[in-house]
Amino acid sequence: MSICTKKFLLNSGFYMPAVGLGTWQGHVGSKASTEMRDTIIYALQKGYRHIDTAAVYGVEEIVGEAIRMSGVPRSEIFLVTKLHSTHHAHVEEAFLESMKRLNCEYIDLYLMHWPQSLTLDGKPTKTPTPPETWLSMEALKLKYPDQVRSLGVSNFSEKTMDELLKIATIVPATNQVEAHPMLPQHDLVKYMNEKGILTTCYSPLGQYVPAILQNPHVLDLARKHNVTAAQIVLAWEVSRDLVVIPKSTNLERIMQNITYPELAPEDIAFLNDFYKAPGMHRRLCQINGGTPTGHDIVMGWTYEELGWEPYTVE
Q: Which residues pair with 176 in a beta bridge?
A: 154, 200
**231 Cβ partners below 8 Å, 6+ apart?**
222, 225, 256, 257, 259, 260, 261
Q: Which residues pair with 9 in a beta bridge?
A: 15
**278 Cβ partners below 8 Å, 6+ apart?**
none
The length of the chain, given as a count of residues:
314
| 15 given a catalytic annotation | no
Query: What own/partner pairs with CB < 8 Å and gap ≥ 24 does 186-191 have?
Result: 186/272, 187/158, 188/157, 188/158, 189/240, 189/242, 191/158, 191/161
> Which of these is catalytic: 57, 202, 260, 311?
57
List residues with catalytic annotation. 57
